[in-house]
Amino acid sequence: MGATASSTQRLRQVRDLPCPRGLPFIGNLHQLNAPKLHRVLEQWAQELGTPYRFQICGMPVTVWSDAELSQSVLRERPHRYRRYASLEPVLAEIGCNGVFSAEGAAWEPQRRLVMQALSIPHIRAFYPTLQAITARLHDRWQCAAERGEVVEMTDDLKRYTVDVTSALAFGEDPRTLEQERGVIQEQLAQIFPTLMHRVNAPFPYWRYVRLPRDRRTDRALAEVHRTIRGMMARSRERMRDEPSDATRHLLEAMLALRDAPGSDVTDDIIAANVLTLLLAGEDTTANALAWSLYYLCADEPLQQRLASEAHAVLGAHAVCPDYGLVKDLDLFEAVCSETLRFRPVAAIMAFEPVEPVQVGDVALPAGSKMFFLTRPPMLDARHYSQPGRFDPERWLRGNAACAPAARVHDPRAWVQFGAGPRVCPGRHLAAMEMRLVLSTLMNRFKVTLAVDPTTIEEITAFAMVPNRMPVRLERRPTVESPGSQTNQPGRD
């Protein structure tokens, strides 16, 4: 079934779709618990099927959990579907309307620059710096292990990803891994919850009255933008004082484009893309890695196997010593891919058609609000064999764990980096970070959760994140022989 129904098929209208019971005027607004929004929508999908709709003050939102339709919509962006139109003004207000949210002609030149900055050749050349930043993360963990301290992994991993993104894209390493207070993550942490709240608000109250949360966000944004403008000024000085025939990183490329005759790029557009990359580079990869620890902490045999594979590649090194060897760390990325099947950081994708469309057997007018749920298809036996089993092996090429005829593995149902023309440009960097961080961790440390796992909750904050991930690290004195793979059910 594609995004367009056959001409002989009777089309349903949005009003024909099932809807959870609501209240007059406000509809289902009172049931949309923002921190648990993805859970609410998934529960309704179990009860009502796909697609269904819910109502916010008379506005219908259709909700879909069909993998094939999701792929079709993603492939037809940006010419037929776009992100919510309401997203752009909200992001523009906070100075973050960059490549993530830009549409039409404004998107293409920004996309080309970002793709070049995050390309495989660029990341290969950047590898020594990436290795050094990963070594700082190892040193931070080693100190914590020696002191017997509990490590809040969500904080450490966000420091790591911001250091990597800043060094790669902007030519400056803020070295937040070596600081305890006053780091940019403290301000960035306030932005995503505000975005989630404002994009889904039925009325833009903040344009008329500032609540305490809005004032806190204002202060955080002012500090972030001071940091960004400072980076831009320093980069301009280096371009003037140390001229080069080639741009050395994304920020220089954007500044050069800004200064080209007839350019439509402004300093505000550059600052918006810097903030976009800081947010995207920090939040998604860091939380994917944090969620992977939830499963690794419960599976000591898998930790032992990973330790053995890490030692085979890293040897006596704390971090993988060569870019060419990273390809041998497939199992580590497979752990993250399987983790994201159970704990998708991108749990909800929001789009709207730019023209009247048919999606399946439903007619949607232009501007219709659409949510796609990414977890239900990934836990569907039609797409993955034994979907309730945590099994990283399913992501490895040549896996002969089960007979091919009995094995179901449909990678189209896994869309954590998107698909189509607007697939995430940072996916290769994210894969590198996942392999490096987990191999460094497993090679040198045993990891256990420092709290009852039932207290770790999923929170919708634009992305779907853990409320915390505190762990204890113990130095691994010797590398154990590989244990048998132990698969466990995914936890809710």
Residues (pLDDT < 70) of the chain are 1-9, 99, 101, 104-105, 182, 398-406, 478-492
pLDDT at 402: 46
Amino acid at 202: P
Q: What is the per-residue pLDDT for 406?
A: 52
Backbone dihedral region for residue 93 (phi beyond 0: left; psi -120 to 50: alpha; all else: beta): alpha
Q: List the structure tokens of 429.
A: 């960097």
Residue 208 to residues 200, 204, 211, 403, 479: CA-CA distances in angstroms? 17, 8, 10, 62, 61
Identify the pLDDT of residue 414. 92
Cβ-contact 291, 466 below 8 angstroms: yes
Which pLDDT score, from 0 to 100, does residue 215 have? Answer: 93
Question: At 32, phi and psi to the nearest 5?
Answer: -90, 80
- Specify the DSSP element, H or E, that contains 81: strand 81-82
What is the C-alpha separation between 344 and 376, in angstroms, rounded?
Answer: 10
Residue 243 is predicted with a pLDDT of 86
What pLDDT is recorded for position 398?
58
**Beta partners for residue 63, in sequence order:** 52, 371
Q: Amino acid letter at 479? A: V
The upper half-sphere exposure of residue 369, i.e. CA atoms within 13 Å in the direction of its Cβ, equals 16
Which of 1.10.357.10, 1.10.630.10, 1.10.1200.10, 1.10.1740.10 is the CATH number of 14-96+106-489? 1.10.630.10
The CA distance from 278 to 188, in Å, is 8
Give the pLDDT score at 370. Answer: 95
The reported pLDDT for the residue numbered 3 is: 53
> Rounded to an integer, what distance in angstroms lies between the CA atom of residue 202 and that of residue 269?
27
Fill in the DSSP letter of residue 379: T
State pTM to two decimals.
Answer: 0.87
By the 8 A CB rule, do 289 and 250 touch? no
Domain ranges of the chain: 14-96+106-489
Determine the residue type at 176.
Answer: T
